[in-house]
Structure 1
């Protein structure tokens, strides 16, 4: 993918961020916003996003926590260019490296980060049909195994650093199976659309060198009510604060 023909400009965090992204192809929704909100980052720390797309997760994190050293890796040159443009337009410093996470340049292989974040492709490509748009297919269809995402994250984390990712619940066995003894203190936060619904997404965080017990938290409910009954925003207040005001997502104690 060398160019993007049609673009839209979309508001995130209640208009704090204006993001240009493809009109067709992979379009960022709430998942990268939730990912950014779940990262326990503090000013002065370094963050590496694997597969950053047009930069939504990193820029949402940078808007919430000023003073971060943000770096994104993106395979597709056109998306990487949009991420650079979005960072400039929103006044947030974000270094974008166009590279395959399976072959990171030496400038990244020699660094350790306080945080690594990722929103890996959700779908096994041997299951289902490929998306007709190449950019969307690359973003959503797994070409690089989840195990390599986890391995790359573990290598790039500094001792004591945090991995935070969002993934479909059905892929959770692959995520957990890819973890080794370098990553501990694993916590899972299932995300469910409404009360009584099964969780379709999970947030996961793990610490390099962590020794804490595995923790499976109660599901975080995104919408009010047990079913969709009206048009408009039905997010519970805590999620609305994340999506509209850039608040942090609080992990259960």
Structure 2
């Protein structure tokens, strides 16, 4: 039987969280890096909470969160059927209960439109489809750019939040304005956390959180430094302790 991943060179099985989590990923195409792991580490979820991930791909962020916090009600939405099926398989592989829905976040099925979640998380495409050229692999192109504006991601997420619920998004730092404009209209108590590759370097990523019904003023949090030293000077990991604990031990980030 032909697999949808045959043209992508098959699948690899990769370890996350120091081996606590295993994920099947296409050898060629979109492969999860540290971004979804960091996203999951920032989510302030507790046992019993409900979580919705928009654009869950193969399930990296959703399942990293499920591995860190037990007893969560997990739901993922993914527009690409092959990746949605991959996320279902990865959830089963790790023994984590999660419902994966194949749908466009702009046209969710009726039962999801009737639900409210304690947390909505998203790792939207980092690039604007109006700029640059498309990737050769369609799955990778959708993950990296896609055709859904960031404002639509925020609108879909905020509508699904329960009162006092949190939306947590990771995005490139140069698209911060594209995030803040729609978030400020729908959410409050917004916190921006810059992620800097090294001390003294500009932030390349930001994690932005907003609360449904929050009233606190916007807060720019202290930056999280990802790596030691001014340059990568050795053939080994050089993550700072907090980042290492999140990536390899599944610890939460503040």
Distance 2:89 2:153 in 1: 25
Match of residue 32, structure 1, among 15, 30, 36: 36
Q: 3-state SS of the aligned residue for 1:249?
A: coil
**Is this contact kept in 2: 1:122–1:142, CA < 8 A?**
no
Displaced runs of 4+ in structure 1, greater than 6 A?
A: none
- Return 5+ residue gaps in structure 2 as ranges: none
* Matched ranges for 1:207-246 at <5 A: 207-246=211-250
Aligned to 1:98: 102
Q: 3-state SS of the aligned residue for 1:100?
A: coil
Aligned to 2:77: 73
Aligned to 1:201: 205
Distance 2:212 2:130 in 1: 31
Aligned to 2:175: 171
Distance 1:45 1:201 in 2: 27
Distance 1:242 1:86 in 2: 20
Match of residue 108, structure 1, among 112, 116, 120: 112
Q: CA RMSD in A?
A: 0.9
Aligned to 1:138: 142
TM-score, normalised to structure 1's length? 0.97
Shift of 1:218: 2.0
- Return 5+ residue gaps in structure 1 as ranges: none
Shift of 1:3: 1.9
TM-score, normalised to structure 2's length? 0.96
**Is this contact kept in 1: 2:120–2:168, CA < 8 A?**
yes
Match of residue 152, structure 1, among 117, 138, 156: 156
Shift of 1:181: 4.0
